[in-house]
Amino acid sequence: MKMHGIHIPHRKNTAAAVPLRMPAPKTVTIMTSMHIGKPASVIVKPGDKVYVGQPIAEANGFVSANIHASISGTVKKIDEVLSSAGSFVPAVVIESDGEMTPYENISAPVVNTYDEFISALASSGIVGLGGAGFPTHVKLDVKDTSRIQQVIINSAECEPYITSDTRTMLDRAEDIEHAIKLFIKFLGVKEFVIGIEKNKPEAISEMNKLAKSIPSVKVKVLPSSYPQGGEKVLIFNTTGKVVPAGKLPIDVGCVVCNCTTMAEIGRFFKTGMPLTEKCVTVDGDAVREPKNVIVPIGTALSDVFEFCGGFKEEPKKMLYGGPMMGLAVPSADAMILKNTNAVLAFGAKSAKEPKATQCIHCGRCVNHCPLGLAPINIAKAFETKDCEALQKLEVNLCMECGCCSYVCPARRPLVQTNKLSKAMLRDYLAKQPKETEEKKK
């Protein structure tokens, strides 16, 4: 069995760029929802003085995450802002005092048991930093830790341009190592696999040094193909295990953690400082000085781009993340989130949308889909609103990696259609129980 993918330009222009810490911006706007699950509940009010690392919103439910101030200053207002998911969520706007004073109650957590470890991790506000932002303490709250046979540390970083994870491996190996030792102690993990694409030789060398100091760690060098960092793809290519449809990695004994997530865990348990900043790759042909930047969470993209010399030309498209799975940003007023690993800006030539033509039935979308889906058949079912066909075609398995759109010679918007198809199917399935009850009456 082989999981297919595609070869794309790497464009790792900033791989050698040591991250620079930008000064505190005048204001930050920190959303209460930067993770999968419920938004956190705001616990501060306008006029309150806050400090770096101070809790400003508490987790609201099991799948939720704490939010902390990323700068010191005064709470200016509690606003409503548009999230990347398309909904309005509360946000705390903080006006900087220019001091970046740490919260006085910060100290390294003292933990002696698994439950204390999970509780401390929950207080940190750490979420998955390589993708959707799933709260990390929830992912590791498996109760029966014997189910975790392997922890796979996702260091593939397969999207073009992005190098923030590469910098984590080069600059923060000690933090990753500390997190691994915590996992061994409190989760009883006996095997770790660090999956890295072969186009990162310096990072591979650094992780091999780490592996020599911990016998349970091995480094798996992976082909430089996209989407190597996709969770199911990575699990298969590092362990040979297949995660069945509808199942989670833990169902095959695996937990996947991004390398920067691991580094943040290590730093938090050493210092007590929660997640308040991110290393972000700033690149794209419209950016004057591409670089890696350490940014307070909630900083406006306009401030980040200005720190990178502004624009060479007017950007026609800005993205959170990479060009394959990134989200288009409506304006530079958008802010850095917990799981922002890159912000890209492109000029008119790069941002020009290709004109779609008729499908020529070449089959490339099918041949290159890493999960073996049939995007062209999904598109036909979507056009005819055939939800039963969408269900049979397993459209919900689509990870929206964009391989199908990338290889399509007709430039069909296949990944966008898959996304719309999933929404259509969700609506259809949600109505089924109600319609069944009405028929019984």
The pLDDT tens digits of the residues spanning 308-324 come to: 999 999 999 999 999 99
Q: How confident is the model at residue 159 (pLDDT cuts 50, 70, 90)?
A: very high
Q: What's the topology of domain 1-21+104-352?
A: Rossmann fold (3.40.50)
Tokens at 67, concatenated: 């939010």
Cis peptide before 227 (omega within 30 of 0): yes
Is the predicted pLDDT of residue 245 greater than 90, yes or no?
no
Residues of the chain with CATH 3.40.50.11540: 1-21+104-352
| Burial (0-12, 13-18, 19+ Cβ within 10 Å), 114 | middle
Is the predicted pLDDT of residue 3 greater than 80, yes or no?
no
Angle between helical axes of 173-187 and 259-271 (0-180°, round to 10): 80
Average pLDDT over residues 99-105: 97
Q: Identify the pLDDT of residue 440.
A: 45
Q: How confident is the model at residue 372 (pLDDT cuts 50, 70, 90)?
A: very high
Q: Identify whether the C-beta of residue 130 lies closer than 8 Å to the C-beta of residue 154.
A: yes
Q: How confident is the model at residue 1 (pLDDT cuts 50, 70, 90)?
A: low
Is the predicted pLDDT of residue 111 greater than 50, yes or no?
yes
Q: Please tell me which residue, 133 or 58, carries the higher pLDDT value.
A: 58
Q: What is the percent of the chain with per-residue pLDDT over 90, rounded to a whole number?
A: 90
Average pLDDT over residues 133-138: 93
81 phi/psi in degrees, rounded to 5: -125, 155
Q: Identify the pLDDT of residue 84.
A: 72
Q: What is the spatial distance between Cα 352 and Cα 211, in angstroms, rounded to a whole number?
A: 44
Q: Identify the pLDDT of residue 434.
A: 62
Is the predicted pLDDT of residue 435 greater than 60, yes or no?
no
Apex CA 87: angle with CA 28 and CA 316, to 5°?
70
Q: Identify the pLDDT of residue 265.
A: 98
Q: Please tell me which residue, 269 or 133, carries the higher pLDDT value.
A: 269
Tokens at 114, concatenated: 């698994």
